[in-house]
């Protein structure tokens, strides 16, 4: 395993090249995001996604989210991009909001037991965006062993994941340090599955979100 200090321009370039090569070869990489550090693989490489789940100690019942490097990438991943989804994307991407959508049935990937959905986010971190724009959509989960605290530094991730990861990109301490908020758009109305980096009151400034008990208000 190799760690690259992305605060130094030459190491950043070398690290991004090494991480892209590793991802294309089916290896795992750790990358900084705006929320917490992530462990990532090429989303379309099923064995690599399986290795990611194994490194975290997770089963297929907890499928891996996907990070993208641009707004319009979601058009190729979704069965349909609703007006609500576009409103949230325009308001909070790049940033700490993950959206659960119905995936396009033609996608040749295996992220776990997704029941026809995929959770997608565009992070607000220059290193992550550079890597995603080179590799394409990546399956990325928090860079920690299941049941342990999410990593907010590359060293945190390395302490937990060790040699399971080929390349570590060190982008400094994660600026937010809190996991993304998750809004499920796969059903008839939006549902907040997790409150995180984007507070519920901010989400409600752009879309209507029913209370958890389903009553209007």
Nearest CA to 127 out of 21, 1, 3, 15 is that of 15
pTM: 0.92
pLDDT in tens, 78-119: 988 999 999 999 999 999 999 999 999 888 899 988 889 999
212 pLDDT band, cuts 50/70/90, is low
CA distances 35 to 95, 96, 122, 123, 124, Å, are 8, 6, 11, 8, 9
State both tokens at 9: 């321009």
CATH class of 2-203: alpha beta
């Amino acid at each position: 395993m190799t760690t690259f200090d992305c605060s130094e321009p030459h190491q950043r370039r070398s690290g991004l090249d090494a991480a892209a090569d590793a991802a294309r070869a089916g290896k795992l990489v750790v990358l900084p995001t705006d929320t917490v550090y992530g462990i990532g693989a090429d989303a379309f490489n099923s064995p690599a996604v399986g290795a990611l789940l194994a490194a975290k100690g997770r089963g297929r019942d907890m499928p891996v989210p996907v990070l993208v490097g641009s707004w319009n990438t979601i058009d190729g991943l979704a069965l349909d991009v609703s007006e609500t989804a576009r409103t949230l994307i325009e308001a909070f991407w790049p940033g700490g909001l993950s959206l659960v959508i119905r995936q396009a049935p033609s996608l040749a990937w295996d992220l776990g037991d997704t029941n026809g959905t995929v959770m997608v986010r565009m992070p607000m971190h220059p290193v992550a965006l550079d890597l995603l724009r080179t590799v394409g959509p990546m399956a990325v989960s928090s860079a920690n062993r299941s049941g342990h605290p999410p990593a907010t530094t590359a060293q945190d991730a390395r302490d937990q994941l060790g040699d399971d990861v080929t390349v570590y990109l060190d982008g400094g301490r994660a600026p937010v340090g809190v996991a993304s908020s998750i809004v499920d758009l796969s059903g008839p109305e939006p549902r907040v599955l997790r409150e995180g980096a984007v507070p519920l009151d901010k989400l409600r400034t752009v879309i209507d979100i029913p209370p958890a008990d389903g009553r209007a208000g």
